[in-house]
Chains A and B, each alone.
Chain A
Amino acid sequence: MRISLERRGSVKSWHLIGVPLLSVIFGILVGGLFLEATGHNAVLVFQTMSQTSYTTLYGIGDTLAAATPLIFTALAALVAFRVNLYSIGAEGQLFVGGIFASGVGIAVGTSSSALAIPAVLIAGIVGGMVWMTLPALFRAWFGTSEIITTLMFNFVALFLMRYLIYGASTYWRDPTSTNFPQGKKLDQNAWLPRFGTQSIHWGLVLALVATIGIWFLLRKTRFGYQMKVLGDAPNAARYSGVPVKRMTFTVLIISGGLAGLAGASEVAGRAHALDPNGLAIGLGYAGIIVATLARLNPFGALIIAIGFGGLQNSASALQSLGTESVPSAIATTLQGLILLLALAGELFVRYRLKVSKRVEVSA
């Protein structure tokens, strides 16, 4: 008997939902076994996770707030990945977006909200774009691997952000915080208003708008069509006159802007200051996971980002769980596990297993 793989003629639609769903279920099962094996009560852990994140009003609020930046970074990843540009720079672009947004926020905070809020958001977008400019230029014109350059720039941005708060008494640092340096608070006029529970802010609405906007760009515009051609058949795109270099550059810059907006939304909606520890929690990398699980679909990314936001949100509640403390790292472990399973499952969306009998040849 011989097992081989055969490419499916067409992708079945239920597979698109079924495979991610199954990987989540398997992820939870394997994670549960792992928890039990390490002496924790898996049922209690998952119960706590669902209570803190998915089944109570405040939990859902916190989950949506945690999902907001993930939606932006997932969109950032998916526009680039769609044209086979594997930018992993959302992390750094988010930091620089946060730096620009807080800088502008501190400067214009005292003017009216109608002026201050758009200024802060635009600053964030510009920051993300600025940080992507060099990797995008290098990629488009020299063919320099965007994977390495964007990754390296993440670390440069991280150290830059740390310097602005911890390294010296800069414009971004609160001058009254000497022992434990903190970012200077933005004036209230520059804050994104909150609504619903105490944690949801207008960044979520922006994220919804951005999701629809990216969907529109991909599906309804000439640019989106050219992206599709470039992504599916680069040579065909080249011969049919798609300006490949310019497209490459533009797509990456859009990706950078989205990641920068994530930083601005976190600064103006959550921390109200440049907070290096709060920003550097792997939102950019998690965005790539969300985008992949969503098979690069904007609305799929929205839903999965909310699911992942809940995972992140529940982590802290686990640490203070009754008599036993479960390391918050279980949330990260689960995220990684679910993605690994989804990647494995992806094969079955594209291929089918074929079992064929082989004629035994006697030796």
Chain B
Amino acid sequence: MTQESVLILTLAGAIGTGTPLVFAAIGGVISERAGIINLGMEGMMLIGAVTTFLVDNKTGSPLLGFIAGGIAGALLALIHATLAISLRANQIVCGLALTIFGTGLASFIGKPIEGANLEKSFNKLKIPFLSDIPAIGPVLFKQDVLVYFSWFVALLASLYLNRTRTGLSLRAVGENPATADAMGLSVVRMRYAHVIVGGLLAGFGGSYVILRIVPAWSQAGTTNGIGWIALALVVFASWRPLRVIAGAYLFGVALQANFALQAKGITVIPAEFLAMLPYLLTVVILVVLTANRRTRGAGAPAALGLPFVRDER
């Protein structure tokens, strides 16, 4: 193996750092396309992470852990769906409550394993031939299987939203639920299904953090606000799954560059200021999108955040 440059290592690391964002933000896209905003994502990721940790260490199977993490996220999303859809609660407050509840519950469950290490995880999987391409190979094709899975999920989500009948119906539900209802679609069922899938993906995101990024449970530091970045990323990617990948890796580079510079002792820009970048970038993009008359509300589902009640319009 030839000497890999720092740049390539940083970029490869950025893919890893961006992967939980890919999972969670695509979950966010799917849920928001159905018209339900999910501020509970951070809580779902944490619950996903702690569940993965426990199941993985118990069974010795990272795959089972990963699946369990997704299911845990989906269960929390079911609460969100029940409150926001059936009980018509304010989605924003409800999501926040779920994040607070999820954070509390995760650190409660995780208390006995605070600081413990994850024993088994996925290894990197070199893709034959592709990983031999100079520069691109080591960055993209020497990752673990979950990274490849996240690409698959993004592609699937994109095809689903743009190329299938159900995807089209979903967009109708998010844009104009009254019309969708008149067309004979079940707004309630569609919303439930997509919020739950969104939670599943957020759970996967949390699982990835514990499996590949910080393989030790720490109540404060495990997801470290990634759920909130994912929420921003949904807007950043203007609700399109493939753009989520680009955005996630861009954020990944920003986060990774921070580690790399700190490790090298380069302090031209303080670490705290670099850490602000993803957040500031999101605000800038959002403002530019909304200030421009042409792109105002670009991609944003028109009925986002509004409850749907058939006889109260």
Contact = CB atoms under 8 A, between A and B. Distances in A.
A335 B100 contact: yes
Q: Which among B96, B99, B225, B270 has the greatest number of chain A C-beta atoms within 10 A?
A: B96
A152 B92 contact: no
Given A151-B228, A156-B279, A347 B87 contact: yes
Nearest to A327: B111
Interface in A313-352: 327, 329-337, 339-340, 343-344, 346-347
Interface string B216-260: 000100000100100110010000000000000000000000000
A142 B92 contact: no
A74 to B, nearest CB: 13
Contacts of B291: 138, 142, 144
B89 A344 contact: yes
Chain A interface, >50% SS class:
helix
Contact of B287 (A138, A156, A339, A347): A138
Given A163-B270, A167-B270, A336-B100, A343 B232 contact: no
Interface stretch (A226-234, A249-257, A282-290): A282-290
Contact of A329 (B92, B99, B108): B108
Given A288-B96, A292-B93, A138 B275 contact: no
B196 to A, nearest CB: 17
A160 B276 contact: yes
Contact of A347 (B39, B88, B276): B88
Interface in B158-191: none
Contacts of B219: 329
A339 B279 contact: no
A16 interface: no
Contact of A145 (B99, B275, B286): B286
A144 B287 contact: yes
Interface string B72-101: 000000010011000111101110111111
Contacts of A143: 290, 296
Contacts of A245: none
Nearest to A144: B290
Contact of B280 (A86, A152, A330, A335): A152
Contacts of B279: 152-153, 155-156
Contacts of A156: 276, 279-280
B107 A327 contact: yes
A73 to B, nearest CB: 13
B64 interface: no
B287 A343 contact: no
Contacts of A343: 83, 87, 89-90, 93-94, 97
A88 interface: yes
Contacts of A147: 37, 39, 92
Given A151-B232, A152-B280, A340-B98, A288 B87 contact: no
A148 interface: yes
A12 interface: no
Interface string B252-292: 00000000000000000011110110011011001100110
Given A285-B100, A332-B107, A340 B287 contact: no
A347 B219 CA distance: 33
Contacts of A246: none
Contacts of B83: 340, 343-344
A160 B100 contact: no
B52 interface: no
Nearest to A151: B228
Given A143-B296, A336-B101, A159 B273 contact: yes
A331 B100 CA distance: 10
Contacts of A344: 82-83, 87, 89
A286 B93 CA distance: 11
30 contacts: A38-B109, A88-B39, A138-B291, A142-B287, A142-B291, A143-B296, A144-B287, A145-B235, A147-B92, A148-B231, A148-B235, A148-B282, A151-B228, A151-B231, A153-B279, A155-B228, A159-B275, A167-B271, A167-B272, A286-B100, A289-B96, A289-B100, A333-B108, A335-B100, A336-B102, A340-B83, A340-B94, A340-B101, A343-B97, A346-B89
A-B complex: 8 closest residue pairs judged by Cβ atoms: A336-B101, A332-B104, A333-B104, A163-B272, A327-B111, A329-B107, A339-B97, A336-B100
Interface of B: 37, 39, 43, 79, 82-83, 87-90, 92-94, 96-109, 111, 219, 225, 228, 231-232, 235, 270-273, 275-276, 279-280, 282-283, 286-287, 290-291, 296, 312
